[in-house]
Amino acid sequence: MAISNDMISGHRKLHFVLLPWLTTSHMIPMIDIGRMLAERGVTVTIVTTPANAVALKPTIARIADSGLPIKFVPLPFRSVEAGLPDGCEIADNLPAFDMLPNLYNAAKLLRQPLELLLREQSTPLPPSCILSGMCYPWVTEVARDLGIPCFIFHGFGSFAIYCMHNLYSYKPHEGAASATEPFEIPGLPFQFEITRQHLPIFFQSMPKFMEMCKEVREGELEMDGVIINSFDDLEPQYAEQLAGATGQKILTIGPVSMCHRESSDMADRGRELSVDATRCLQWLDSMKPQSVIYVSFGSVGSFSPAQLMELGHGLLAANRAFIWVVNGVQRFPSEVQRWLQENFEEGGADSRCLLIRGWAPQVLILSHPAVGGFMTHCGWNSTLESASAGVPMATWPLFAEQFLNEKLIVDVIGIGVAVGAKTAVQPFAPDDKASVKRETIADAVERLMDGGEEGEERRRRAKELKEKAREAVEMGGSSFNNITLLMEFAKQPNN
């Protein structure tokens, strides 16, 4: 994408301050958004915390080398004061999921240092706009005091945000007698039954989370607008309907992962890699086009030992080549770790398997022509990264809004097959059963990789979306133009 000097100089005076929510999977796309803005000449400050700045070191170093006008500013984080272990500054590292409100309360203590930062002389330019992660409801007041706009980035797609908006408005979940009683999500052009357990915590009436959820929702409604990591051709009507329903500016600006054009940038996102990216590419180079399935469940998705082993058996039974990313391996008992090693690392699955314990270069892997399918937990980043690489998915949602994303992938857009996960699990606390059986898993892989008519049609749609995604982020594309709108809005006085 060639951006002229004129276009850049027109935005030289803009300074966007990005405050990503404290999870790796929110930081990754917000850093990409920072890059996209900086490439358009905007000065960008990304607010982080000391421990997160250490974890993001490779990314920060790469951005420094690029010469882009992006500065990372770590603000002091008072974990212990909020009842968290010292140094716990990210949801990924919470000792238990029900400590999320502690993290939320610790994040409230960022307000004062943020206000100081935004007012002090040393910032490169006065701030023009704040892009806020989803759990900082107080940030609109900070923006109002400075007389600048504030947009929210939920990390969700348009369909999911629209479904949630309708749930907030019509509250069908409140009429359900239990977490497993089905009800319909209103306002959609098709019937969609769901249960409370398949929804984000905002709809689960969990006492410990209620106050946080209420404040987060109130904060959302105060925002000037919403920026969404999505693109016009993927789920257009839901962004439009959301704009109509909320009266807020809704700007789809993705897929943000497409801001990376160099392999090394694609590889270095989020955490430090647990595998050599070149080794991954060499392994993939030795495989036939579209023959490999990539299996990963995001930054925090994890299974019980029983489910993990069932998944491994299912992948072996499917008789296809696969890359399997297992995170949190150290939490598994030593016999499970040994089983992984013997069956997937020491020639157990021959050359058919590449096991990655920890963090994989996901976007790089998905962009390789040998990858023909992605078994995913339907996290929104992963969903979009798969769609932008033209790779169909086998969907296995675990929690949060992932069951909504599954509906979109399988039934609305038609680029996925459902593995058949029926039960939601809690992050960091998977139940000890293996509810999805190996035969079901192997069958899903077969359906996904199948060369028959349905499989071909899914692949055709996925390739079409890949092309549309590329067009959206190119100069003059819908996402490119929405970034221009965002910059224009930030330039207007009294917006």
Q: Select the span of 39-47, 190-198, 291-299, 386-394 touching ligand UDP (CB under 6 A).
A: 291-299
Per CB under 6 A, does 326 bind ligand UDP?
Answer: no
Residue pair 176/195 in contact (Cβ under 8 Å)? The answer is yes
Q: Which is nearer to ligand UDP, 325 or 424 (CB)?
A: 325
Shortest gap between Cβ of 365 and ligand UDP (angstroms)?
Answer: 9
Q: Select the span of 199-207, 376-384, 455-463, 481-489 touching ligand UDP (CB under 6 A).
A: 376-384
Structure tokens at 252: 């789809």
Report which residue's Cβ sits closest to ligand UDP.
379
Q: Which is nearer to ligand UDP, 148 or 258 (CB)?
A: 258
Question: Looking at this protein, which amino acid is placed at residue 2?
Answer: A
Shortest gap between Cβ of 388 and ligand UDP (angstroms)?
Answer: 11
Q: Which is nearer to ligand UDP, 380 or 396 (CB)?
A: 380
For ligand UDP, the binding residue among 22, 325, 418, 424 (CB under 6 A) is 325
For ligand UDP, the binding residue among 198, 260, 269, 447 (CB under 6 A) is 269
Question: Looking at this protein, which amino acid is placed at residue 84?
Answer: L
Instruction: Name which of residues 17 to 56 contact ligand UDP (CB under 6 A).
Output: 25, 28
Q: How far apart (Å, rounded) are the C-alpha atoms in residues 359 and 282?
A: 18
Shortest gap between Cβ of 211 and ligand UDP (angstroms)?
Answer: 23
Give rounded-to-5 percent helix, strand, coil for the chain: 50, 15, 40
Q: How far apart (Å, rounded) are the C-alpha atoms in residues 345 and 108?
A: 44
Shortest gap between Cβ of 299 and ligand UDP (angstroms)?
Answer: 3
- Spatial neighbors of 61 by CB under 8 A, at least 6 apart, are none
**Strand order from edge to edge, sheet including 371-376:** 353-357, 321-326, 292-296, 371-376, 393-395, 416-418
For ligand UDP, the binding residue among 69, 157, 200, 270 (CB under 6 A) is 270
Q: Which is nearer to ligand UDP, 41 or 298 (CB)?
A: 298
Q: Select the span of 192-200, 227-235, 355-363, 437-445 touching ligand UDP (CB under 6 A).
A: 355-363
Shortest gap between Cβ of 381 and ligand UDP (angstroms)?
Answer: 3
Q: Give the SS3 label for residue 13.
A: coil
Per CB under 6 A, does 359 bind ligand UDP?
Answer: yes
Structure tokens at 292: 């490999």
Q: Which is nearer to ligand UDP, 156 or 209 (CB)?
A: 156
Residue pair 267/277 in contact (Cβ under 8 Å)? The answer is yes
For ligand UDP, the binding residue among 246, 299, 307, 478 (CB under 6 A) is 299
**How wide is the angle at C-alpha 333 spanned by C-alphas 327 and 336, nearest 5°?**
75
Q: How far apart (Å, rounded) are the C-alpha atoms in residues 153 and 135?
A: 10
Q: How far apart (Å, rounded) are the C-alpha atoms in residues 15 and 120?
A: 14
For ligand UDP, the binding residue among 220, 235, 385, 406 (CB under 6 A) is 385
Per CB under 6 A, does 91 bind ligand UDP?
Answer: no
Shortest gap between Cβ of 452 and ligand UDP (angstroms)?
Answer: 28
CA distances from 164 to 170, 196, 203, 391 (A): 10, 12, 9, 27
- Spatial neighbors of 331 by CB under 8 A, at least 6 apart, are 302
Residue pair 327/355 in contact (Cβ under 8 Å)? The answer is no
Instruction: Please report how many Cα atoms fall inside a 13 Å half-sphere around the Cα of residue 125, on the Cβ side.
Output: 17
Q: Select the span of 194-202, 220-228, 341-349, 379-387 touching ligand UDP (CB under 6 A).
A: 379-387
Per CB under 6 A, does 296 bind ligand UDP?
Answer: yes
Q: Which is nearer to ligand UDP, 14 or 295 (CB)?
A: 295
CA distances from 167 to 158, 179, 183 (A): 14, 15, 11
Q: Which is nearer to ligand UDP, 69 or 157 (CB)?
A: 157
Instruction: Name which of residues 394 to 453 contact ligand UDP (CB under 6 A).
Output: none
- Spatial neighbors of 52 by CB under 8 A, at least 6 apart, are 22, 27, 74, 89, 90
Q: Which is nearer to ligand UDP, 244 or 261 (CB)?
A: 261
Q: At what angle do helices 57-66 and 24-39 cross, to 10 degrees?
A: 0
Instruction: Name which of residues 300 to 319 contact ligand UDP (CB under 6 A).
Output: 300-301
| Among 360, 388, 379, CA closest to 466 | 388
Q: Are strands 129-132 and 150-152 parallel, antiparallel or unpaired?
A: parallel
| Among 158, 138, 48, 3, CA closest to 483 | 3
Q: Select the span of 287-295, 381-389, 438-446, 472-480 touching ligand UDP (CB under 6 A).
A: 381-389
Per CB under 6 A, does 156 bind ligand UDP?
Answer: no
For ligand UDP, the binding residue among 101, 219, 225, 298 (CB under 6 A) is 298
Number of residues binding to ligand UDP, judged by CB under 6 A: 19
Per CB under 6 A, does 360 bind ligand UDP?
Answer: yes
Shortest gap between Cβ of 33 and ligand UDP (angstroms)?
Answer: 13
Q: Give the SS3 label for residue 295.
A: strand
Shortest gap between Cβ of 24 and ligand UDP (angstroms)?
Answer: 6
Residues forming contacts to ligand UDP in the complex (CB under 6 A) are 25, 28, 269-270, 296, 298-301, 325, 359-360, 362-363, 379-382, 385
